[in-house]
Structure 1
């Protein structure tokens, strides 16, 4: 208490401790704080009165308090027997729980039979940041120099080699001694195998590029030959002193390996001779090429005349084929148009006959029924011929972006009664490709024909199941229609599957042109159609839309 009274009264002491940049704390013999200057607030966040009578180790992290309690007691004991006053780096513990790096200095004195200790605490956070920043810059610079292809070697003002980069180590330009260190000034010649450009005469110490740079010379493009037991290099060195405000700091040399360049230079004459020989060979080849070219021109002229004659003949046949196609189109038009009139007349006559023939004349009525069946088949055949004619002419339709789910709804609504009657289970997945850029009427015809075929040729022992999916391809879209119907014997009937008027099953009515029309529509648009099938299990038709704009 007497010490505290003297501190409170001594204005000079208080002025001194309050103006110091460090935190000053005084503790009694029980390690209780009895005084602190105001610096404790900016350093630890405590007001001076808050720490009075608190244990001294309140300024240390909890995990360190027991350890430093023992160390502090040991320090006081050692001090009594002629101890010491070291500066120690410890972690400081702030009021808000923040841990800061700090340095502490302890001292002990005795007064009126009591022991007191003073602690000077310095916050070294800024210094640590500066040291970390300096170390980061040093590592960054080292990384930059190590990444350089050129060899970089430096020494201090006394000639001790204190830096070399990765390239120097890889080329063994810095010889290690037994301790793994590197030679310095008085042993440079012993460890370094430098020679004059002749590769024979050893270089003296005063001729070495680094030594010359250390002596104040500006070394420019000094050529040096370096040899070890395993390898040798031709080097070019540049160097100079390193001088700052404090004076000479050392020297540095940058060495470039020109071994490959020299080897290339040494072979230039040989390569020139080879190039000259190659030039002469080329001139001879050019002469022979001219002769061959003249012979080729003669043959080409003859061949051209031959091809011209064949081309004229081909043009003649092509015109004849075009005329035949026109005649065929005219014939189909006449067959599909002019035959409609007599068929209509025959239908009218059959209706009259139905009315005038007595009901009891069963033979006549049976004959009329057969004539009506034949008439309907003829009408279907004429309609089929008309459809084929449209496809044969390759009618151009406007392409547009078609929403596949909407198109499928339109198709299924038009055949809703048939789907209901046959108990058809229709599934589709257009998630991968929901839209196709194509002719609307043609795409509708393709889907309609494939769906109706799947229903027509259903298996007799199960309900029809149809699944329609789309897949992306590298150059377009694949549209698959899969069914569980009768299936097709492809080995037997695959070749005639897509031919005109081909029918594989006689128990179902049809014209036999549906698949033919589909194939022509797809091929006219640059696509293809394939089928895979197993007899009795079902079929899968895959349409490939090539070179289409996929949405």
Structure 2
């Protein structure tokens, strides 16, 4: 049973206490009884009761006990019971806080009704106390929240006078609470807002409406020292019996504005740098959708018909195939944005211009979606100069090859002339046919020599890329150099395994091998062994050229691919041969390595990655070897 149903009977007559106890217990109350004022006070300290108090107790007057009980609990309902009705007993008791008084002898119905009312009042008092406690705790929590808030929280009355001001408001506006409470809100407003504030306040009080309610707006605040600073305001209002109060939550935007301005300046700087770079820049997501293109990229790859590049797919802008893009993205996922630039990732032609490009990851570390940055630079003129340089170097070597070719042509020409003279005197038709077949054979040999020579001499940049058999080109290059007068007594040893076909310009691959074989022959001074090897090496085709010549010291091996570097005597070389070889090999994403030891010879190792054909495998050569 709850404590509001508890009754305390205070009377020195035990018989009367028993009668009252039986009566009230029958009504469902929990009843305690005591015979003195001191015992009543002790009980009241332990529990909350509705009290039936006799005025005449052996240890104290009833009004004295009443006063002490009320001091313990002002909400305690005390029913005074007396057999002597006097003003002092009745009015005096009521004046001291008694809930009611009952005269003896008791009437059961009166006792029941009065106790019932007292218990109800006790319950109401306790509920009120509970509500007051909860309200007080709520106010304390709210005040703690307000004081600990990072934002300024300000409350003003209907006249716009500040009535509440938290710690953050003190820090933000530099006013302590005692010096600002009671002053108008215009104190913390720049002058340009004050008239609008007065009109808005009048409208709010008249209609309960304001354009600021329910919105967050950016305004400016005024500090005590006169500093004007950016703020963000959220406004709320509520009606009271004294008019409409309102509160504002204000956030200082100074740091945010400074950060935003710094970000904007950095963005503008990056935009300026990107716009002034000599390269075209594209940024695309991993699916290929372009999200950024600098102005140069727009001019290079866009058009009035297709519109802006952003939103388009990079595969529609650049001549890349889906497998190439997929491989590029997968490769970048294992890199960081700080990876070195190094060599270009590839080369492509757009609108009759040639571009080399480099890809790099753009997404922040830990991001789920990768963005790909592409830097493309126009190398059209550079490629044209390089092609002409390659052709010039090729022509420089033709003089040596021509002398050997003249010797090769001279022998069949002598055969043709000699056979023709015999034919002129021969009468037998069968012999004439036989001599004619010899002349045709000599002529075909000469035609083959001339055709190969012309193919080598033709500018490679006029040739389209085709599938090239590295092994076949190595053999043909050896045959061509073999006819030169410098070849002498060099022995050729071959280990030529079938290799995958390389997509390239045949003349450029010929130039690589002719140059390297010519250098090897010259290093042996016409005597020694030339070893030529081809082999498949995983997804690559590998070719090696080894001579038994003089070799070279280690300090020169790092320079041999530099333009104009040569170990030959003045007038015997341009110093461009190996530089051009390196450029051609790199053009096809290949590598070239050199191994050399003084007095023992030199080996060049060339490795070309093989692009898979649409059927999913590489094409392979399978032709006879050189004997």
Q: TM-score, normalised by structure 2?
A: 0.36
Q: TM-score, normalised by structure 1?
A: 0.41
